[in-house]
Amino acid sequence: MIFEDLEALASGFLCKIAQSVARPAPYPQPKNAEATGENSRVLRAASERSALPSFRCRIARLWFPCKKSEVNQRIITLLTDFGSRDAFVGIMKGVILGINPAASFIDLSHEVPPQDILAGALLLRSAAAFFPPRTIHIAVVDPGVGSSRRPVLVETVDAIFVGPDNGLLSLAAPAESIVRIIHLTNEQYFLPQRSHTFHGRDIFAPVAAHVSRGAAPELCGVTVANLEQLSLPPTERQLDGLIGQVIYIDHFGNAVTNITEADLRPFPKETLLVSIENVQINGIATTYAAVEIDAPVTIINSWGMLEIAVRNGSAAQRFAIQRGQRIRLITV
C-alpha cells in the first residue's frame, strides 16, 4: 500500500512538472497547408530530447502525449552502402525512432557496393514502385558527403526520396513524376550537432522522421529547380543487332545489361546470338530453367532488362564478367 501511495505521489509530481514546462511548438504549416493535407504535429527536436533528465522516459510520456492514432505510421525504407558490420544503419533507425516511435522500417539493401552510385540508383528504382503511396525512401550512397553536393528531399506524386543530390535518386524519381525538389537547409529538422561524414544520421534520418510525423516537406529547406541526373549508358543500334554493356552484377552473379526489353522488340528473340568476350549464347529464354544446370542463359529479368546468367551458378565468376564489359546481340 505504501508503495502504491508513493507511486501515485510520484506520478502527480511528474504531471505537475510536465504541465509547468512549455511544450514544444507544433510544426509550422506552409501557406498551402490545406492543399498539402498535412496536419500539425509536435516537434520533438533532438536537442530537447537530449536535455531530458534521467527519468526522461516517464517525463516524455507526459510532455509529449501522443495516442497511437495520432502518429503518422508511414513506411520508411533504407538503402545504403554501409553494410551490416558496422552500426551505421542501426544508428539511423535510432534517430528516426527518437522522433517518430511508430515508424515502420523496410531495409531495401545495405550491400550496395561502396560508393557505387549507379548500383544504388538501379536498386532504388527497382524497388520504389512496389511500395504504398507516401512511402519515404532514404538512400545513402554518398562518396561526396560533407562536400558542396546538396542534401535533398524529392517529392513525387507517389513517394518521397531523401538523400544526396548526386544522381542516386534520379532513376527512381523521373522528372515527369516530381512535385518539388527541396534543398535541405532548415537546420531545425537536423540533429543539433552534425558530422561532415555521416549525413545519413545527422540530416537524412531526422528529416525523414519529421516528415513522417507531419512536417511539410517544403518547410525543410528551399525549393530548387533541378536534380542531379544519372544516365544509363546508351545502347548502340546496328543493322543486324545491338551493342550494350553490363551495368550491374547481382548477388547471384547475374550480369544485368543496359539493353531493355523494348530495345529487343525489333529483333526475333529466338534467332539472336548474344556475345560477351568469347562467350556466345543462342536465343533469349523466358526462365533460368529453360537450360540445363550450369549452362549459360540470357533472359529478360524482373527489371525488364537483358541479363546473362548461369543456371544454378554465377555468370560473373564463370566468365569473369565485370561491369562495363560490352555485349553484342546479332541476328543469325
Distance CA 274, CA 92 (A): 44
User: What's this model's pTM, rounded to 2 decimal places?
Assistant: 0.80
pLDDT of residue 277: 87
Predicted confidence band at 29 (pLDDT cuts at 50, 70, 90)? low
With a CB cutoff of 8 Å and minimum separation 6, the contacts of 329 are: 241, 242, 243, 244, 259, 264, 267, 272, 273, 274, 275, 306
| Phi/psi at 24 (5° precision) | -60, 150
Task: Name the E strands within the chain.
Answer: 75-80, 104-109, 135-140, 151-156, 159-164, 178-184, 221-224, 236-238, 241-249, 255-260, 272-276, 279-282, 296-300, 305-310, 326-331
| Phi/psi at 104 (5° precision) | -115, 120
Q: Across residues 135-158, what is the average pLDDT?
A: 97
Indicate if the pLDDT at residue 332 is higher than 90.
no
Domains, the chain, ordered by start: 44-63+71-224 (3.40.50.10790), 236-331 (2.40.30.90)
> Are 231 and 242 within 8 A, CB to CB?
no
pLDDT of residue 271: 84
Residue 138's nearest CA partner among 191, 188, 211, 195 is: 211
Indicate if the pLDDT at residue 27 is higher than 90.
no
Predicted confidence band at 18 (pLDDT cuts at 50, 70, 90)? very low
Q: Across residues 177-196, what is the average pLDDT?
A: 96
Residue 163's nearest CA partner among 153, 174, 149 is: 153
pLDDT of residue 62: 34
Strand partners of residue 182: 153, 223
Predicted confidence band at 98 (pLDDT cuts at 50, 70, 90)? very high
